[in-house]
Amino acid sequence: MTNSQDLITRCIHTIQMLAVDTVEQARSGHPGLPLEAAAIAYVLWTRYLQYNPADPAWPDRDRLVLSAGHGSALLYTMLHLTGYDLSLDELRRFRQWDSRTPGHPEHGLTPGVETTTGPLGQGLGNAVGLALARAHLTACYPHCPLDHHTVVIVSDGDMMEGVGYEAASLAGHLRLPRLIAIYLDNHITIDGGTDLSFSDDVAARYASFGWRVLRMDGTDVADIDRALGDAWSQPNRPILVIARTHLGWGSPKQDTSAAHGEPLGAEALRATKEHLGWPLEPSFLVPDDVRTHFRWAGDRGQQAQAAWQSRWNAYAAAYPQEAARFQAEWAGDLPPGWDADLPSFAPDKPIATRVAGGQIMNAIAPRLPALIGGSADLAASNRTALKDLGNIRPGDYAGRNIHFGIREHAMGAILNGLALHGGLIPFGATFLVFSDYMRPSIRLAAMMGLRVIYVFTHDSIGLGEDGPTHQPVEQLATLRAIPNLTVIRPADANETVVAWRMALERRAGPTALALTRQGVPVFDRSRLAPAAGLARGAYILADAAGTPDVILIATGSEVSVALGARELLAAEGIQARVVSMPSWGLFDAQPPAYRDGVLPPGVLARVAVEAGVSQGWHRYVGLAGDVVGLDRFGASAPYQTLMREFGFTPEHVAARARTVLGR
């Protein structure tokens, strides 16, 4: 650390101008935030954050989340200066094809980027999840050295978006330790001053949540150091540090919306450099003593990690079994025998797949300590409560059940943070129709390849009397449209067992399980194909004698309807094959030979059956086929009535099959 005011000032100006040159070179980006937050970044990276550029994934590093992801040039500048594997050439390639410096930070692409941010408020929710993960693991492994902080830099937009509001509310309720949010209070949005749309007393709001609130001058190094030192010394509840800053600080566009989303331009860039006393040429200048100082800050992390490694070695020697379990969970491994108690369901009575799912989860959870999650105030309906495994409560984080409250937005973002931290497999539950509230978080989980499990119950008009506001019709289609999200809608309890296995064994992306409210038959697998076929996305559940005349393809509760239609057709001499297709994504990933075996190209008479929109089904039934779907909203009535009135009966499906066959 240096006391030289001249060196500190030049370090801050280096951050500012390197970021501004990055944006100017790309002719695209947001220079305002790096200019306003450079002093804060300097103090954070040189005096407080614990990180090691040589090992960006070091378990006990501090997590720094730039929720205001539009300011990515600031983050890339700091990563370069402190010695991460991010060259000056990559800064020159900002926002260009195949660079490691995209317009908004992307986890897994750029070393040192903890999460993918951009949609405002998401990073704040991720930070809450990261802090909760550390608190939970520390409670479960009390001797394990996990001492890191989670720091999130937020903007006015993060304060306005509902997901940030929800996440901060839950964090305050839980009194999450070692969580620090730095709010860049610059009074500017894209459309102009914040007074156009925002007059909240943010300090009072966060205080009401239970956060400790501090203030600092975001341009004064001494005041920044004072406030951050105070925050670091009081780790027992979340802290909001309100930093009065100036968007585009030091430029002719300071305190105007013009500094937000466009390069300064040649004239303003020249004026900024002259104002700061910075050389006009060359661009991307890093003075030698500045680089040395920042690399010292980065090297400091190697010493911190070495000290942590010594503490870890002592822990592993004193508690070898516990340390080995922690390491396995950190690696994402499922423990031996995790599936030993998975149930098998007999075909004696109908059971809702949500009920089966709850039994499956409670069979798995005692053997899988990494599984943690909860519901958006619907645990009793979703059947996702983990019995006798405790609840996360304020100051008590050892439980396995998280009560997210009626906060689907925040739940999705927090789940991502839990997954990003390491050591946990998070799940979240709500009604399928409310997946719409979670969609931005689900999309980001898929983008990052996170191992998150969504339990979406009440999956169709089969939920009945609550009516069309709660009956999903388009949600399956919209979820299937998200790349790298595996959507599984099991047909019965035993398919649900396999669905959970697939979700837990999948490491490189999230899984959504769509489960019924109403009871559905448990298929007699002595007469029908094994439920293990779900693992391939679609399989022949009941076949024809010889080449089928028609193929009936169905998912979820409609598979039993298709089986009933097959019997009616058989009585007329029509040979029908029934294909259970719980997952389009898993089926599409199979080899062509398997797909053609299930859906032979020569059999053009096909009928798909699903109580949802028909969109997308024609890829499987073709132009000659038909879809028994629901291209309208539902209605309020008992589910048996709804299924009959909307045509989800064996008789109606058989009639549509005859039409396809021309009979």
> Which residues are part of the catalytic machinery?
408
| Cis bond upstream, residue 282 (ω within 30) | yes
Q: Vertex 427, ends 639 and 324: CA angle to 5°?
A: 150
Q: Are residues 390 and 399 in contact, defined by beta-carbon separation less than 8 angstroms?
A: yes
Greatest alpha-carbon pair distance for the chain in Å reads 92
C-alpha distances in angstroms, 69 versus 115, 217, 407, 473?
10, 22, 23, 34
Residue 184, class by beta-carbon neighbours within 10 Å (0-12 exposed, 13-18 middle, 19+ buried)? buried
CB 157 within 8 A of CB 189: yes
Residues in the chain: 663
Burial of 266 (0-12, 13-18, 19+ CB in 10 A): exposed
Helix axes 288-318, 320-330, angle to 10 degrees: 130
For CA atoms 466, 467, 469, 473, give the dihedral sign. Answer: positive
3-state secondary structure of 100: coil
Closest residue by Cα to residue 445 from 487, 473, 475, 477? 487
Paired strand residues for 607: 552, 626
Q: What is the DSSP code string of 113-169?
A: --S---STTHHHHHHHHHHHHHHHHHHHSTTS-----EEEEE-HHHHHSHHHHHHHH
Assign 3-class secondary structure to 42-70: HHHHHHHCCCCCCCCCCCCCCEEEECCHH
Are the C-beta atoms of 151 and 182 separated by less than 8 Å? yes
Q: Tokens 């979406």, residue?
A: 456
Rounded CA gap, 53 and 594, in Å?
A: 46
3 state DSSP class of 507 = coil
One-letter amino acid for residue 287 of the chain = P
Q: Which residue type, as a one-letter code, is found at position 153? A: I
What the block records as the tokens of 232 is: 């670091």
Grouping H, G, I as helix, E, B as strand and the rest as coil, residue 427 is: strand
The residues, ordered by sequence, that sit 6+ positions from 227 with a Cβ below 8 Å of its Cβ are 214, 215, 216, 241, 243
Among residues 655, 657, 524, 512, which one has the least CA distance to residue 586?
A: 512
- Residue 365 near residue 532, CB atoms below 8 Å: no
Instruction: Tell me how many helices (H) and strands (E) the chain has.
Output: 24, 18
Q: Distance (Å, rounded) from C-alpha 478 to C-alpha 474?
A: 6
